[in-house]
Structure 1
Amino acid sequence: MSQLTVVLPFALPIPEFAPDLVRSLQAPALGALLSRTSSRQRVPLNDAVRALPHEQWLAKALGLADGGGPAWAAAAMRRFGVKPEAGTWFIVNPIHIEIARTHLMMGDPRHLGLSEPESRALFDTALPYFEEAGHTLVYGDAGTWFMRADDWAGLDTATPEAALGMDLTDWMPAGERAAAFRRLQNEVQILWHTHPVNAVREARRLPPVNAFWAWGAADAGRLPAPNAPTLAVLDDGGVVEHLADARVEDLAQFAAGIDGDTILYCASAAPYAVGADWGGWIAQLQQLEAALFAPILDALMKRRLREVRLVLSHRDALAEFTTTAMAQRAFWRRISLDSLL
């Protein structure tokens, strides 16, 4: 039998809203998985790492952590069929930065709606500027590029998800080479400001692509640990999708075919929590109750799974709940969602 870990970013409600959200949520299978456990723990955020708790957890689980943060660039490149040359590589995401009343904010890169032709055109225009700065730029897909910048190896960067919705002043790359990053960023921003792609996008009332975000630095030879679990993605996981061994389309088929230690990453609740759409968050978890939690509980009780672990997070904390078929027999433990509080 196999072990399944389900990583659910932002499925842990934030404390100020948790009581009301838990009362509104009808999810008995999730309640059983959270209530009848063999172990549970809450892990606070490591403030020294500029990544969200679930990103820190996943980086460690895959053996792709650098100082606790995700060192994912080289592994993601290989998923695109690109073998990185020796050196230090960064993930580069084209993004939209908007001016709020008092600060700059990043729009969610996953909602940018950037097409392949648009991305290619912006990439080709920026490429000479990266090369002039001594950095190789490689195209992955519309939302994911890669940059080799050996002299930026010590740059302290933040993941896009950590910076999302925050004052970007506090999340820009820091360190000895930060000024060099800002120079290149400014040059590209000026270049893209009048780019035909953005003129067309603005005419269609789409946000312009006016900056890029660099993060996830890794040495070219950095690979997942030999004993790392298999990683599967249930929905759009952003860059995590580009680290995955499989994308899950049929959950029942996936559950029946699990062999060994497997991580299932499901980020479908995250956009609702980030956007403070708590009605949407409840609706999404209700969908996951039928599509995910109930089938997993059934597979556990039928002993197709030896152990199930749920890893739930919000911006400031992470909780782990581990259960087995034997733990589920603890009928004296009331099934509830109180563990989410």
Structure 2
Amino acid sequence: MHLMIPYASATGDAATHTLAELNLPHLAELLARLKPEGAPLGSDEFSFNTPMEWALADLRACRADEGCLPTAAWALKNHGGLAWARLSPIHLAVGSDQITALPPENLSLTEAESQEFFASLAELWPSDEGWQSRWLAADAWLIAHPSMAGLSSASLDRVVHRHVDSWMPTSRRLRSLQNEIQMLLHSHPLNNEREARGALALNSVWISGCGIDTSAKALPHELQIDERLREPLLAGDWESWSRAWVDLDAGPVAQMLAQVKSEPAAPHGLTLCGERLAQRWHAHPNTGWQRLWQRWLTPRANTAALLGAL
């Protein structure tokens, strides 16, 4: 079993305070029984790619520069060696001094609405000019074109609930495409209908994950990614995030701890991803003295310190 937990920690006083008060007994014992594997992945909270994306890239043996991980292509079983980009429909909320990106789920788009919006933008990626497009879900659209290769862009999760200016792509190609999309959406009849009933207008998209997938490996079949911490963390809802961590500790983490204790020689793995770094741990055989000691005294790691370092 390889358990990956993204959004496991964040920077800032609120996150630090919440971590200090969290009681995660199963995680504390599990981390004390595991050994760190390799150096942490990632850099800082200003990286265009999230630590989870860097951890997935490492498992795939995918090598790319900062902001250029081809996460859009990862969403396809057959990417055809093309340069894909992901379009995430969003609402940009304009304030007095900043523009904030609200997450796609705030739009509550139906599949029919999403497909209608996506179809209305097709003139921007004509097939006779080498473009391809795929509608994946109400909140995920893909386009492919050679011009999408090697363009740096920030992950959607770096942007939502934040001021967008510091995350805007430097590529003129991406800025131009985003502006063209916004112009078509501005006068879309469906947006008029949505606003009339009090729904948010779909007034922009976030373009991310551009590039050609050069992964050398598929993700391990035993990998389990639990993203229940994502939504509350991105929204800054620390009470809900804390409850989600407690549920995680009592569920998948406790399950993995039981497996490690019953099968200590098995290749168990745990990856925790914060806002800056991702760290992997793996099971390692204990000596006889260690096993005897652990029977008498349950090992405990300092979860607040370990998570806070991510």
Normalised to the residue count of structure 1, the TM-score between the two structures is 0.76
Q: Is the 8 A contact 1:229 1:263 kept in 2?
A: yes
Name the structure 2 match of 1:89.
Answer: 84
Find the aligned partners of 2:277 and 2:217 in 1 and give their Cα distance.
Answer: 28
CA distance in 2, matches of 1:314, 1:226: 24
Structure 1: distance between partners of 2:271 and 2:155:
19
Counterpart position of 1:140 = 136
Stretches of structure 1 that go unaligned for 5 or more consecutive residues are 231-261
1:43-62 equivalences in 2 (<5 Å) = 43=40, 45-46=42-43, 49-62=47-60
**Counterpart in the other structure of 1:109:** 104
What code does the residue aligned with 2:195 have? E
CA separation in 2, counterparts of 1:55 and 1:169?
Answer: 22
5+ residue gaps in structure 2? Answer: none
SS in 2 for 1:200: helix
Q: 2:220 aligned with 1:229, yes or no?
A: yes
Q: 2:26 is matched with which residue?
A: 29
Residue of structure 2 in register with 1:70 after alignment: 69
Q: Which amino acid aligns with 2:92?
A: I
**After superposition, where does 1:214-293 map in structure 2 within 5 Å?**
214-219=207-212, 222=213, 224-226=215-217, 228-230=219-221, 262-293=222-253
Contact 1:44-1:317 within 8 A present in 2 as well: yes
Q: Any idea what SS the aligned residue of 2:170 has?
A: coil
For residues 276 and 17 of structure 1, the distance between their equivalents in structure 2, rounded to whole angstroms, comes to 9
Residue 155 of structure 1, CA deviation: 1.8
- C-alpha displacement at 1:324, in angstroms? 4.5
- Structure 2 length as normaliser, TM-score? 0.83
Change (3 A) 1:340 1:129: closer
Q: What's the counterpart of residue 2 of structure 2? A: 5
Describe the superposition over 1:175-216 as per-residue Cα deviations: whole angstroms up to 9, x where unpaired.
3xx1x3333322321221232322232234332111122221
Deviation at 1:161, TM superposition (A): 0.9
State whether residues 136 and 148 of structure 1, in contact with CA within 8 Å, keep that contact through their aligned partners in structure 2: yes
Relative to structure 1, is the Cα distance of residues 103 and 42 closer, same or farther in structure 2, using a 3 angstrom cutoff? farther
Deviation at 1:105, TM superposition (A): 1.9
Taking the aligned partners of 1:17 and 1:320, their CA distance within structure 2 comes to 25
- Alpha carbons of structure 1 residues 340 and 77: separation in structure 2 relative to 1, 3 Å: closer
* Structure 2 residue matching 1:225: 3-state secondary structure: coil
Contact 1:63/1:224 (<8 A) preserved: yes
Aligned-residue sequence identity (percent) comes to 23
Q: How many residues align?
A: 298
Is 1:13–1:21's contact at 8 Å kept on the other side of the alignment? no
- Deviates further, 197-206 or 326-335: 326-335
Match of 1:118 in 2: 113
Structure 1 window deviating more from structure 2 (133-142 vs 284-293): it is 133-142
2:168 is the alignment partner of 1:201: no
Cα distance in 1 between the residues matched to 2:258 and 2:197: 47
SS in 2 for 1:120: helix
What is the letter of the counterpart of residue 50 of structure 2? L
In structure 2, relative to structure 1, the CA distance for the partners of 1:86 and 1:276 (3 Å cut) is closer
Give the 3 Å change call, closer, same or farther, for CA 296–192 of structure 1 in structure 2. Answer: same
Q: What's the offset of the Cα at 1:51?
A: 0.6
Choose from 313, 316, 335 the match for 2:300: 335
Distance 2:71 2:122 in 1: 22
How far 1:228 moved relative to its partner? 4.0
One-letter amino acid matched to 1:27: L
Q: Partner letter of residue 192 of structure 2?
A: A
In the TM superposition, residue 16 of structure 1 has moved relative to its aligned partner by 3.1
- Structure 2 residue 92 is matched with structure 1 residue 127: no
Which of 136, 152, 170 in structure 1 is aligned with 2:166? 170
- What root-mean-square deviation, in Å, do the aligned CA atoms of Structure 1 and Structure 2 show? 2.9
User: 1:56: how far off?
Assistant: 1.2
